[in-house]
Amino acid sequence: MSLTVAITDSSTATVRAALTGTKRDVRGYIFAGALLFCLLASLFVLTVLMWDVVASAIPVFDKRSTGFLTSELASSPDKAGVSQGIWGSLMIAGFVVVLAFPTGIFAGVYLEEYAKSNRLTRLIELNIRNLAGVPSVVYGILGLVVFVKGLSWLTGGRSVIAAGITLAILVLPIIIITTAESVRAVPSGLREAGFGVGATQWEVTRDHVLPYAAPGILTGTMLAVARALGEAAPLLLIGAITGRLASLPGQGLVDRLQGKFTAMPIVIYGWANEVNKPGKITGLTFEDLNAAAIVVLLAMVLLLNGAAILLRNRFEKRRQS
Amino acid sequence: MNKSKGRLVLASIVGLSMFAAACGEDEGAVDATTTPAAATTAPADDAATTTGAPAIAGGEVFVTGSSTVEPISVLVGELADELTNGELAVTVEGPGTGDGFAKFCAGEADISDASRKIKDEEAALCADAGIEFVELEVAIDGLTVATSPANEAVTCLDFAALYALIGPEAEGFGNWTDAQALATELGSTSATFPDADLVITGPGPESGTFDSFIEIAFKKIATDRGTDPKAARNDYTQSPNDNVIVEGIEASDSSLGWVGFAFYAAEQDRMKAIEIDKGDGCVAPTVETIADGSYPLARSLYIYVSVSAVADNPAVGAYVDLYLSDAGVAAVSEAGYVDIPTERIEASRTTWADATA
Tell me the per-residue pLDDT of B243-265, one tens digit each, with 9 for 90 and over.
Answer: 999 999 999 999 999 999 999 98
Give the closest-approach CA distance of A23 to chain B in angstroms.
Answer: 32
Give the closest-approach CA distance of A310 to chain B in angstroms.
Answer: 6
Give the pLDDT band of residue A154 (cuts 50, 70, 90).
confident
Domains B57-139+301-356 and B144-296 agree in fold: yes
Torsions phi, psi of B138, nearest 5?
-120, -20
Q: Using one digit for the tens of pLDDT, what is the confidence trace for B287-321?
A: 999 988 899 999 999 999 999 999 999 999 999 99
Question: Measuring CA to CA, which residue among B356, B334, B304 is closest to residue B104?
Answer: B304
Contact map slice: B 199-228 vs A, CB within 8 A: none
Mutate to test the interface with B, among A76, A304, A305 (most CBs of B within 10 A): A76
CATH number of B144-296: 3.40.190.10
DSSP codes, B82-121: HHHTTSEEEEE--S-HHHHHHHHHTT--SEEEESSPPPHH
Rg of the Cα atoms in chain B: 24
Where do the domains of chain A lie? 2-51, 65-320
Name chain B contacts of A302, Cβ cutoff 8 Å: 9, 12-13, 16
Give the pLDDT band of residue A8 (cuts 50, 70, 90).
low
Question: Measuring CA to CA, which residue among B268, B225, B229, B228 is closest to residue B250?
Answer: B268
Contact map slice: B 248-267 vs A, CB within 8 A: 262-263, 265-267
**A303-317, B164-178, B272-286, B338-352 — which is least confidently predicted?**
A303-317
pLDDT at res. A38: 97
Name chain A contacts of B81, Cβ cutoff 8 Å: 246
Torsions phi, psi of B206, nearest 5?
-80, -10
Give the pLDDT band of residue B1 (cuts 50, 70, 90).
very low
B276 by DSSP, 3-state: which?
strand
Burial (CB < 10 A; 0-12, 13-18, 19+), residue B187, is: exposed
pLDDT at res. A174: 94
Q: How far apart are CA A220 and CA A240, in angstroms?
A: 27
Q: Using one digit for the tens of pLDDT, what is the confidence trace for B17-37?
A: 444 433 433 333 334 333 343
Give the closest-approach CA distance of A160 to chain B in angstroms.
Answer: 15
How large is the ipTM?
0.82
pLDDT (average), residues B98-117: 92
Contacts for B330 with CB less than 8 Å, ≥ 6 apart:
B38, B41
Averaged pLDDT score across all residues of chain B: 83
Name chain B contacts of A243, Cβ cutoff 8 Å: 63, 70-71, 73-74, 91-94
Name chain A contacts of B6, Cβ cutoff 8 Å: 306, 309-310, 312-313
User: Nearest chain B Cα to A158, which residue?
Assistant: B108
Averaged pLDDT score across all residues of chain A: 89
CA distances from A44 to A37, A38, A51, B15, B210 (A): 10, 10, 10, 21, 40
Q: What amino acid is encoded at B214 in this protein? A: I
Higher pLDDT, A49 or B22: A49
Is pLDDT at A26 greater than 60 in this prediction? Answer: yes
Mutate to test the interface with A, among B4, B10, B14, B23 (most CBs of A within 10 A): B23
Give the closest-approach CA distance of B68 to chain A in angstroms.
Answer: 9
Is pLDDT at A235 greater than 90 in this prediction? Answer: yes
Give the pLDDT band of residue B198 (cuts 50, 70, 90).
very high
Where do the domains of chain B lie? 57-139+301-356, 144-296
Contact: B58, A248; criterion CB under 8 Å: yes
Name chain A contacts of B330, Cβ cutoff 8 Å: none
pLDDT at res. B33: 39
**B57-139+301-356: which CATH topology?**
D-Maltodextrin-Binding Protein; domain 2 (3.40.190)
Q: How many interchain CB pairs under 8 A, A with B? A: 153
Give the closest-approach CA distance of B187 to chain A in angstroms.
Answer: 36
The CA-CA-CA angle for residues A271, B205, B72, to 5°, reads 40
Is pLDDT at B325 greater than 60 in this prediction? Answer: yes
Contact A228, A92 (CB under 8 A): yes
Torsions phi, psi of B335, nearest 5?
-80, -5
Burial (CB < 10 A; 0-12, 13-18, 19+), residue A8, is: exposed
Give the closest-approach CA distance of A108 to chain B in angstroms.
Answer: 24
User: Nearest chain B Cα to A276, which residue?
Assistant: B266
Name chain B contacts of A280, Cβ cutoff 8 Å: 37
Q: Of the candidates A61, A71, A299, which has its C-beta nearest B33's C-beta?
A: A71
pLDDT (average), residues B207-231: 89
Domain A65-320 has CATH 1.10.3720.10: yes
Mutate to test the interface with A, among B74, B113, B313, B322 (most CBs of A within 10 A): B74
Q: How far is CA A298 from the centre of its chain?
A: 11
Contact: A246, B86; criterion CB under 8 Å: yes
Is pLDDT at A186 greater than 80 in this prediction? Answer: yes
Contact: B30, A303; criterion CB under 8 Å: no
